[in-house]
């Protein structure tokens, strides 16, 4: 399987699972995808832009207000070139903001401005994931046509066991490749 010529935007949010985004990016690059990352401000507390840049071989975008290298509106140009926008890990916060149509950061603005396919991979505490508000937001996003790779059951970083652990890396890469085809 090859993703040559495909542009994948990977959104990385604030979750302990952010380190797993590195392996997802490596898997997509190995399939020859052009990968560009949007790292949320809170996500940068878990992983650095330099790490994502090194693995993707592209600049990492963080803010709607970064000085552009050339005149382009950042979130619009990213939205237009994306074949797939993958959010991994996706927090309850980004899921809720997208369901409400909020566009107050680069990642949510890019997703809302895009006509590309969106694939969301939740990762959070089991109680958060199973909360009625989060489940309602997931159903709302599904009704918009967003696809999900749902989290797995297992031991979580907090020590709890249950739904909420980021799905298997290979499964996420495979589902992203399917969406990009």
- Residue 96, number of CB atoms within 10 A of its CB: 17
DSSP 18: G
Cα–Cα distance measured from residue 127 to residue 134, given in angstroms and rounded to the nearest whole number: 10
Q: Which two tokens stand for residue 104?
A: 């107050």
End-to-end CA distance of the chain: 10
Specify whether 158 is catalytic: yes
**Contact call for residues 25 and 53 (beta carbons, < 8 A):** no
Q: Among 160, 61, 44, which Cα is nearest to 110's?
A: 61
Of 13, 37, 121, 158, which one is the catalytic site residue?
158
Cα–Cα distance measured from residue 100 to residue 18, given in angstroms and rounded to the nearest whole number: 24
Angle at alpha carbon of residue 64, lines to 47 and 29, rounded to 5°: 45
CA distances from 16 to 9, 20, 44, 123, 125 (A): 20, 9, 11, 9, 10
Which residues does the annotation mark as catalytic? 158
């Amino acid at each position: 399987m090859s993703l040559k010529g495909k542009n994948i935007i990977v959104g990385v949010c604030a979750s302990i699972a952010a380190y797993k985004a590195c392996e997802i990016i490596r898997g997509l690059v190995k399939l020859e995808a052009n990968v560009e990352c949007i790292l949320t401000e809170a996500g940068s507390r878990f992983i650095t832009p330099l790490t994502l840049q090194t693995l993707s071989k592209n600049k990492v975008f963080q803010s709607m207000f970064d000085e552009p290298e050339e005149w382009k509106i950042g979130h619009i140009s990213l939205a237009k070139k994306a074949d797939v926008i993958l959010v991994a890990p996706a927090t309850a916060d980004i899921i809720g903001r997208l369901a409400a149509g909020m566009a107050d950061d680069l990642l949510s603005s890019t997703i809302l401005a895009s006509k590309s396919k969106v694939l969301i991979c939740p990762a959070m505490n089991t109680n958060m994931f199973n909360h009625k508000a989060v489940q309602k937001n997931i159903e709302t996003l599904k009704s918009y046509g967003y696809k999900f790779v749902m989290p797995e059951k297992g031991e979580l970083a907090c020590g709890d066991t249950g739904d909420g652990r980021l799905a298997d890396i290979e499964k996420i890469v495979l589902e992203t490749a399917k969406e990009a085809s």
